[in-house]
Every structure is written in structure tokens, then in C-alpha cells.
Amino acid sequence: MKALYFFDGYLEDSEYSGVKRKVEAQIEEMEKQDVSVDLYTSLKSRSLWEKIIIRLPFTTAIPKTWILCFPLNYDCVYLRYTWSDHGLISFLSKISRHTKRIIIEIPTYPYEGELSKLRQKPILIKDRIFRRELHRYVDRIVTFSKEKEIFGIPTINTVNGIKVNNIRKREICSDLSEIHIISVASLAKWHGYDRLLKGMVKYYSNGGNRQIIYHCVGDGQVLSEYQQIVENNHLQEHIIFHGRQTGKALDDIYNLCSLGIEALGCHRKGIKLSSTLKSREYWAKGLPFITECEFPPEVEEIGQYIMKVPYDESPIDIEKVIEFHDNLYLKSDKSQEEIIDEIRDFAYRTCDMSVVMKPIIDYIKSDER
């Protein structure tokens, strides 16, 4: 059985490092189940001019190189969705003649909040017009939401997945009197880490004396904003900006930390149910974390390791973070090692790629339409 995987982006871009790992893991899992996969991606990053051009009404984001697949026959085409335009619909129309079924994965749904900036409005307008045609060609939509139908197309419901064995379990912290907190992301407004910074400003302004160190790993569009908050409020001894880190350097930072920050700004794009890779990576690390998002009911099994904060713009209450941390580590009967292993075991059972890809592969190999 043969499948063709399309990703509209240049996977070697640093911004796609996490996505690249996921795509490779998805393909690996398919091939383990006797589905041979060819991967088609963009061959280079989009230039500024190309990014402007694709926003025009009658242009398309589909890479020209994808035309190469047309003469080939596949049992399935799997496409990671960005947005719809006339080029995508024309493309799907053509490849539908060469395949038994077409599956689209929508990484975030609803996703319109991600296209809310003024420069993205032309893309959103095109998407709203052309996505109404998807049902003509797409057989299933893979979603990490609970929706049973999207754009009139039946869904395959699963969760965002990772290769748990590829993520090293964190070590225990030797000193829990200090609280070390980590976030790892390509920093964007919707991550909402400014809420944590503003909470720390308030805590120390009011005489707080617990030593808290926030390790902000990554770079991105809001890094300068975060740095300005730190500088203006003299928080330099409590905030470390590590920049982009990978491998052992990243593991070493994780090993200092007893809490993670998942997402504190999902309300800025209207997302309530978490499907982030970051939450899965924290679970694989065995790391409790703080979030404003909701999780599916099955996550209640480890709900004591997730701190929920208000779904709004309020600064994070650091006193409550301290209480959450100390209840876990200083007032619990469980050792650090037991906490780490319990969370990591949950990751193996619920979000390892072998688990999350099963319903997708079952559909690919079935006779169901």
C-alpha cells in the first residue's frame, strides 16, 4: 500500500523543527504498518515577495513541484492543511483522479484565530471562500478536536502525538526550595508567557521572597517584548532567555526545572482545548505544567499535575504557582521519581505516535469511504 504525504512548508526551516519531528514520526509509524510513504514538501523557504504574492486574490500557495506527483498512483494522499485557495482545490481535483482517498490533517481547529492579524486577512478571506469546496475531494479530516464533522467532511478524532522514546526523561531536582520553571517555544503572542512575567513583576513588587527562576527557551516575534518587560521591571536575576536550544543543551535546562509552562494565551486565538505538542513533550519528560487550556476527560488521570489558570489576560498568580509546586513536591507522599514516571507512563499510553496514528492507519488500510 502506498501513500503520498504533502507538507506545504520547508521542513529544514528552524521554525518547523518540532513539526519536522512529528511528520517524520508519522511517516515512520505508517511504514511500520506496511504503508509505504513518499514525502513532498517545499524545496526552499518562501521569500518575502512570495509571502506577499500568495495573499493576492488569484494566486496560490501550492508549490509548483507538487505537480510531479500527478502521473503517480497512490492508495492514499495525506495533506497537512494550511489554508484553502483556488490552487489547493484545483490540486485536490487533479490528484483525486490518481488516488483512492484523500485525508487532510488540520493541526489546530478552530484555526481562524491564528489568521487574525491584518496581514493575514487576505488569506482568511480566500480560505473562507474556497474551503467550502473541500468536501468534493476530501474523504476524512484528521483533527485533535472533538468535532465529528468539519466543513461537511467526516473526521478522524485523535490527539497530537510524539515519539516518547525520543524524549529523554528529566532528572530529579536536587533543590526544590528554588522553583525553576521552563517554557520551550517559537515565541508567539498566543503562547502568553507575558502573563507569567507580569505575575512575577506583581509578586516581587509586593515583597515576594521565594526564589523563582523562569527559563525561557526559544526565540520569535515577541521575544523583544518579553525582554523589555524584564528590563523595565529589573527581573534579570529571575528570568533567563536561553534562545533556541536542542539536544543535550535543552535536556540540561529541563533537568533544572520542576514545572513547565504550556499555553497561557490560547484565548487570544479562541482555542480552549489543548492539542499542543508541547504538552505531550512535557508529559514525556515527566514534567507537571501550568496552562489555561482544557484537556480531554482522559487527562483527568494526571489532572493533579496540571495547574489551570484563568482563561483571560490576568497576570499569573505566583502565590498559587508556589502552592501548586510545594503541594506536589514538598507535601506529597510521592517521590520526584514516582511523579516523573507516572506522568511519562501516561504519555506512553495516550500520546505516543503508535497510539495516535492507529485510527488514521486503520482508515487508510480499510475499505471504508
Residue of 329, 270, 319, 259 lying closest to 294 (CA atoms)? 270
Residue of 103, 320, 108 lying closest to 199 (CA atoms)? 320
Backbone angles phi, psi at 79, to 5 degrees: -130, 125
| Ordered DSSP codes for 269-302 | GT--B---HHHHHHHHHT--EEESSB--GGGGGG
Residue 70: its pLDDT value, please? Answer: 64
d(CA 22, CA 3): 17
Residue of 40, 118, 124 lying closest to 77 (CA atoms)? 40
Q: List pLDDT tens digits, range 192-246.
A: 999 999 999 999 999 999 999 999 999 988 999 999 999 999 999 999 999 999 9
Residue 67: its pLDDT value, please? Answer: 67
d(CA 178, CA 220): 28
Residue 179, H or E segment = strand 179-184
Q: Where are the alpha helices (DSSP H) in the chain?
A: 17-32, 48-53, 86-95, 121-130, 193-205, 223-232, 247-254, 277-285, 318-329, 336-350, 353-356, 358-365
**Residue 264 CA: distances (Å) to CA of 115, 259, 299, 314, 365:** 18, 14, 18, 10, 39
Q: Which residues of the chain have pLDDT under 50?
A: none
Is the backbone peptide bond immediately before 110 cis, with ω within 30 degrees of 0?
yes
Neighbouring residues of 205: CB distance < 8 A, sequence distance ≥ 6: 233
Neighbouring residues of 218: CB distance < 8 A, sequence distance ≥ 6: 183, 184, 185, 186, 187, 242, 243, 244, 245
d(CA 196, CA 183): 11
Residue 303: its pLDDT value, please? Answer: 95
pTM beyond cutoff 0.85: no
Radius of gyration from C-alpha coordinates of the chain: 22
Residue 68: its pLDDT value, please? Answer: 66
d(CA 316, CA 68): 51
Q: Residue 21's Cα: distance from chain center in Å?
A: 12
Residue of 264, 260, 271, 6 lying closest to 116 (CA atoms)? 271
| Ordered DSSP codes for 141-164 | EEESSS-SEETTEEEEE----B-G
Burial 127-166, CB ≥16 within 10 A → b, else e: beebbebbeebbbbbbbbbeeeebbebbbbebbbbbbbee
